[in-house]
A and B are shown apart, each in its own frame.
Chain A
Amino acid sequence: MPPVIEVFGSRRDSHMIKVKNLTKMYGDRKAVNNISFHIDEGEIVGFLGPNGAGKTTTLRILTCYMPASSGSASVAGHDVFTQSMDVRRVIGYLPESTPLDVHMRAREYLNFRGKIRGLDRATRESAIKRVADLCWLGDFIDRPIHQLSKGMKQRVGLADALLHDPKVLILDEPTVGLDPTQIRETRNLIHELAKRHTVLLSSHILPEVEATCQRTIIIAGGSIVASGSPEELKARIREGSRLIAELSGDKAQIEQAVAKVRGVSKLECANDNGWNRLTLETSKDADPREDIYKLAKEKNWSLRELRLEQGSLEEFFVRITAEQMAKQRSHNREVRA
């Protein structure tokens, strides 16, 4: 069993969403593999992962669309399995493909959705007005939904998710298929919404999550592989950053001396037209650049390059998700064999 990566919020008593050891099997394939995390009230959390990582499955379990194979999850203190109706009442959900009753007008659709949510006529009318303003539905509200553009449909879906002023908003790929202007508008809207609601959104695009979320949970191959604020994730990346140094001098001497510098954990040396190009891996929180410069000065080696190569969040994401996917594939092969 893989290790459980706990994702702790700061205030333990106010967890709006709690997921514990959640697993979902499709046949003998594990779509979600023993994940646990918490989301606090008022947080915006991004669920990041490549396609097929298990994001949608997790969101579908949280929204009571399907049950988990094992483990537990609760939203606003209600268990998703035993108190499904209570959970559904506090959640506003926008599924990935934004399914709508396309033959209806947007207003009719929202009215119907209000009815099945048990809102009375007066509440429905004021709620529709509120979400129409919030999502800039404008005149489109009286047009049949099948005539609307993808972006407008997305807004109608979002308006529906907001209709009952839910405590928790769950948005599955809210900006997929939108043009850049619409993406920016949607992001701003989500920011705005986070003031009143706890938001959990999924995306397979990293800048998306970076721009909108306070905290990111990276999921790949059904497991959580990393989580934290963008700063924390950047700190994790620094562990894996490399130092490049180019020095001229005796190769063996250089290798021996540089390897002793504090913070250098691994060293590779290549010859580049008489220069020794060193690629160093450094241990966490160490920056041996100054020591290397002093060393070169002391030994009288010429130094023509000294650079810390910091990986981007993008690279980090690609690397860890690829590792996880490979692990998952080999595991699946074993299971089948």
Chain B
Amino acid sequence: MISRVMALTQRELATTFLSPVAYIVAAVFLVASGWLFMDNTLIDGGEASMRFMLDSMAWLLIFAVPMLTMRLISDEFASGTIETLMTAPVTDAEVVLGKFIGVFMFFVALLATTVLHIVLLSQYGQQDVNALLYGYLGMILLGGLYISVGLFASAMTRHQLLAAIIGVAVLALLTILVDTLAALQGGQWRVVLSHVNVLYHFHNFSRGIFDTKDLVFFVSGTALFLFLTIKVLESRRWR
């Protein structure tokens, strides 16, 4: 199983590096992270922490990640390669997992470029190591969840653009919309809604607070969307 998942991951990475979309997303990511860092953190009197940048990137990724994931499964259906793939001795779960890991690795590589910012910042002031570590852990978990949502959206349709829109919509629902709704509601609903808010859990990490609740939220959320992706893939072939 592991060798097959690895083969699929390699294929996904190769495809990613050959697709212009990945380069556009990478460029936007680099420009945005650089600008956010230069304009808000690396200024006189600025706080020596990556928190502002990470919090802002969490917003940006709502739009960036679905661009990376839109192709993943929808294109297999559009080009017909799903047929050769799913008639080879690989399971639906292996396909989904291989794709997930491929994009996840690309995302981590992108995130790794911001290590340069940390090095720069360390020239100016002492950083809170915990906040830094948990901030990046949170970012990695957040990326995983976003990618699983994007993958799920990509399994829904053969049109890449539609997959991107569905991905952004679901992510917006889990972040911006629940936030607004929670503000409008009172009592119990407010608690429930704020607990499904992805950014609420992320902000704990970026503040340097480690709570297993948040870890469980991200890991189980990612697992849930990966599971749903497998089910959607199955049902689409079985119709």
Contact = CB atoms under 8 A, between A and B. Distances in A.
Contacts of A104: 11, 14
A102 B83 contact: no
Interface in A53-68: 60, 63-67
B191 interface: no
A257 B79 CA distance: 66
B8 interface: yes
Contact of B89 (A95, A102, A117, A157): A117
A3 interface: no
Interface residues of B, number: 26
Nearest to A100: B81
Contacts of B216: none
Nearest to A109: B11
Nearest to A56: B83
Interface string B201-239: 000000000000000000000000000000000000111
Contacts of B79: 99, 102
Contacts of A118: 3-4, 89
Nearest to A115: B7
A104 B14 CA distance: 9
A157 to B, nearest CB: 8
A20 interface: no
B88 interface: yes
Interface string A68-103: 000000000000000001001101010101011111
Interface string B65-83: 0000000000000011111
A66 B237 CA distance: 6
Interface in A162-177: none
Given A60-B83, A99-B81, A117-B88, 13 more contacts: A85-B89, A88-B87, A95-B84, A101-B15, A101-B81, A103-B15, A104-B14, A113-B88, A116-B7, A116-B89, A116-B90, A117-B89, A118-B3
Interface of B: 3-4, 6-8, 10-11, 14-15, 18, 79-91, 237-239
